[in-house]
Chains A and B, each alone.
Chain A
Amino acid sequence: MGFAILISEYIAWHYGQAFTEILDLGRDFLWFGWNVFSVSLLSQTLVSPFYRIQEGYKNWTDFEALGETIVANTVSRLVGFLLRLFMLILGALFELLILAALSIVLISWMILPLLIPLLFLGGLYFIF
């Protein structure tokens, strides 16, 4: 009796609730990528000085010092920008990977009952 219940419940789940759950899982992983690669924070602070390293403008008449300060502050922002951009690209790649994986999983899930025996038979075919 247990086996019969298992089969019937499984089939109902596989072609019902499982799809929502896979989508939920995908959504959570996308959220995770967004969070781990700090996408919101990094894009909001894209051109902020790196680690707030910045020099104050003290004497507006000393052009040499002024120039040095401008260069130093620009470098700080530039380094910050490049590193953040790099991290954002990594984040975007991760998200794309999740999206791709999600589509593959969804498609395979639909044909899974057919796919499993096919893979097995295919394996046998390749060996012999």
Chain B
Amino acid sequence: MTMSGFDFSKNKFAGALALNAILPTLRRAQFLTLSGAGAIFFAALAAICLILVSLKINLPTLVPDYTFFLGLSLIFLAPFLFLTALEGFANSQTNQKNGDPASPNAASRLNLYASELWFNGPGFSQNGDTESLYSSVAVTKIGNAALTRLGITAQDYTEFLQTLRKQSGFMPLDDFAAAFATSEKNKNAGEITFTDTLAALLGGSGAKKFLDAKNLPPDTIRRAAEWLECEFMKQDRKRRWWLRENLARIPGFGKDWAYGSTPILQKLSYDLTDEALRLEGVELIGRQREIELIESALLKQSGANIIIVGEPGAGKYTTLLGLVRLIAWGQIFPQLEHKRVFKLQGSALIASGKTKGEVEELFIRLMNEAVGAGNIILAIDEFPEFTDSLSKTGVNALEILAPYLSSSNVHILALADSLSFRRILEQNAGLMKYFSRIDITEPDDKRLLEILQEHTPTIEYAYGGRAIFTYPALAKIAEGATEHLVQGALPKRAIDLMEEVMKETISRGLAYVAPEIVLEFITQKTKIPLGKIMPEEQEKLLQLEEFLARRVIGQNEAVLAVADAIRRARSGIKNPKRPIGTFLFLGPTGVGKTETAKTLAEAYFGNEEAMTRFDMTEYQTEEGFEKLVGSFEKNEPGLLTSRMHSSPYTLVLLDEFEKSNPKVKNLFLQVLDEGFFTDHLGRKINMRNTIIIATSNAGAKLIWEMVQKGADPASLRNDLFSYIQNEGIYSPELLNRFDAVVVFHPLKPEILIQIARLSLQKLTARLEKSKNIKLEVTEPLVEAVARGGYDPVFGARPMQRFIQDKVEKLIAEKIIKGEIRSGSEFSFSPEEISSL
């Protein structure tokens, strides 16, 4: 007992752990079953013999006397009782898993799982170093699970221990325990959990390199370990069937005898109890508050009806099942104890009647039956759609439901998607006054991760345990689903992603779902580059300016700004709550603004088609604003809304942005700042996965004049900004929201030559490919195109047109005349060039 303040023999789990070491749990269970079965079997044989003897039936001489079997039964009974007592001891000692937080002896402050780690490591021995404790991590069940969830394989861990050994990285147990006893968290005495121990072991300097290589920060280790401790405790409580909470889950007899029978209800709806009880293991994290709200709303004397409103996938139905489960388990207010929740199949009701009258009659009979039964909560999924389709058959749902809605004998629990609720029901004050509204909101980051942890065992089980989720992968799924996926609501969006990633992992034949797979999967789905930067991409990113400059000629400032933005986004340092990049391109027409946008789309999303273009001159009026975000009165979706729905991962190009309506500008003020806007139905539309480029001709004339005068770029920029602001074209706050405001300069003659050459080279390549003829691009030709394809107002924009109208026309004539044949090379004569 040399260790100061650390004496494991005083640990409260020491006895139970010692028992497990002498006779492991599994072995005990086997012996217990065997001895119990033996005792019963031989007791039965003894009884049969005794009965036969008493009936005076002679047994064959070989069969022993009943006392023989009785004796055997007793011999089996003795170990059975012995083992039962031991089992009772083990279960009793480990029932409360907490350590004693006030004890001065650090060993007494260890909780059950930390004690397991110490017992299987150094045990009662006080000498030696932490090596045994490190090894114990791989030996204990919880330690092993922690390593697995962190994505550390047994081999990795063994190698890590070997490295530590070589570097003499183990510290004396004495020091480790002492440091533990006085460490920051435990200084004022407190429980020492498995998490604390593991974090201390892996938090040392020796482990840093190993964990850095695995990309596991100390925080991740703590949270993964905490999750496992929770999970282990939950499983242990579930295993103890004799606990009151588990006994309460067994349904009773005759609970519904005092309530009416429900033949019509059973035909047109179904009892949700079975479905709710199948939600095995799901604890409905983050839904307790909503369930409590529902409970208290149901306790109202009369008119206790509820409408649960939320986005599809936000968990309305799960919340409902949670309530049903609480009722089934009897963990609810006594007034609600014997309630039965039926889910109405609206379509079955509507389809059951041939005429309006029949549907009405059936509906009324169903409601009467529910009232008569006295214990019914009628759940109606997609309630707005239900009332809508009833009204299409001419049935007024409000009229029929109104008398029942104020009754205390039946409750209606309606579910509604936020969208249809707003569209169909919200205005119907007559109906809504009977309902308490409960909103299901999306979970925050922490809750979301907890929900995913809840679902982990279920999903792993559903896929036969062929792969398991690591904690970092779960964290990435939560992050990815929140930031990069936009379809559907959380948490369903994240749970769906979990399933998809699981399938992907299995299809690749891997045993762990690693964070890299999650990122690769999201990239595959969204085309947004994520994950580790591979050497090939690294090179591309570093030489991005070159790549961009190949297409965008003579606009160095633009190229630099855009390249910087991409690198910032790709390296993951950009603000996730804003769009990927936002730019304002200022400059005259035809100087490469659109071309830059296309090049950027190609560089980031891998395809220049990943671009959504809006001509903002169409949105100059207030109607224009409605056209963009949608109109509530006309019930029309907006163009921007629907584009963001169909392609959320895109470059949004806003041509001539300055001409749009001030309301539109304000809309984008929010988008630039927060990465979303609210559409006509009040939905948040996510634009965080877009690159936004607004282009503008404003000040083009000024740019011209200043370039003519030979003003330097810095003063040009200043003058331009003050001009724009003075003229009220853009407000300073809008200008400041863009990541970069890029000024495009008018094209100088030498740049025009370059552009002409590039355009002609594109033509040559096309001709070679389709016609197998080669056009020689001569200097005079390039100059002629540069000259003819330039317009002081439209810049280089007419160049393409010029090539098409003049050069291509000439080639076409030559082909028709038979002057050029397949495989030949040709050039234009000086006369032909001058005629261009």
Contacts and interface: CB of A to CB of B under 8 A. Distances in A.
Interface of A: 1-3, 5-6, 8-10, 13-14, 17-18, 21, 25, 28-29, 31-32, 35-38, 41-42, 45, 48, 50-53, 80, 83-84, 87, 108, 112, 115-117, 119-120, 122-128
Interface stretch (B65-73, B386-394, B423-431, B453-461): B65-73
A68 B42 CA distance: 60
A1 B9 CA distance: 8
A51 B21 CA distance: 57
B285 interface: no
B267 to A, nearest CB: 17
Given A28-B247, A52-B374, A117-B78, A126 B18 contact: no
A115 B85 CA distance: 12
B74 A123 contact: yes
A42 B254 contact: yes
16 contacts: A2-B14, A13-B15, A13-B89, A17-B92, A21-B92, A28-B243, A31-B247, A36-B253, A37-B254, A41-B258, A112-B81, A115-B81, A123-B73, A123-B74, A123-B78, A126-B71
Interface in B687-722: none
Interface in B237-268: 242-244, 247-248, 250-261
Contact of B81 (A5, A21, A116, A122): A116
Given A38-B255, A53-B261, A127 B72 contact: yes
Given A2-B18, A13-B93, A18-B88, 8 more contacts: A2-B17, A6-B19, A32-B244, A45-B258, A51-B260, A116-B78, A120-B78, A126-B67
B67 A5 contact: no
A42 B243 CA distance: 25
Contacts of B723: none
Nearest to B375: A52
B261 A52 contact: yes
B814 to A, nearest CB: 97
A11 to B, nearest CB: 10
What is the interface residue range for chain B against chain A? 35 or more
A76 B255 CA distance: 17
Most chain A Cβ neighbours within 10 Å, of B68, B74, B259, B374: B74
B442 to A, nearest CB: 38
B85 A5 contact: no
B82 interface: yes
Most chain A Cβ neighbours within 10 Å, of B15, B89, B93? B15
B659 to A, nearest CB: 72
Nearest to A113: B85
Interface in B32-60: none
Given A10-B89, A17-B92, A25-B242, A2 B255 contact: no
Contacts of B68: 126-127
Contacts of B77: 119, 123
Majority DSSP secondary structure for residues of B touching A: helix
Nearest to B243: A28
Nearest to A42: B254
Contact of A5 (B14, B76, B78): B14
Nearest to B91: A21
Contacts of B576: none
Nearest to A45: B258
Nearest to A17: B92
A116 B81 CA distance: 7
B373 interface: yes
A51 B93 contact: no
B308 to A, nearest CB: 29
Given A9-B93, A120-B78, A87 B254 contact: yes
Contacts of B242: 25, 28-29
Given A6-B15, A122-B74, A126-B71, A14 B85 contact: yes
B730 interface: no
A53 B261 CA distance: 8
A41 B81 contact: no
B577 interface: no
B351 interface: no
B253 A123 contact: no
B82 A3 contact: no
Given A9-B14, A28-B247, A124-B75, A119 B81 contact: yes
A14 B82 CA distance: 12
Contacts of B254: 37-38, 41-42, 83-84, 87
A52 B372 contact: yes
Given A52-B258, A116-B78, A10 B15 contact: yes
A37 to B, nearest CB: 6
Contacts of B180: none
B244 A28 contact: yes
Nearest to A79: B257
B338 interface: yes
Given A2-B22, A17-B92, A80 B15 contact: no
A41 B256 CA distance: 10
A113 to B, nearest CB: 9
Interface in B433-450: none
Contacts of B89: 9-10, 13-14, 18
A74 to B, nearest CB: 17
Nearest to A1: B124
A50 B261 CA distance: 9
B257 A51 contact: yes
User: Which of A28, A35, A112, A126 has its CB near the most chain B CB atoms (within 10 A)?
Assistant: A126
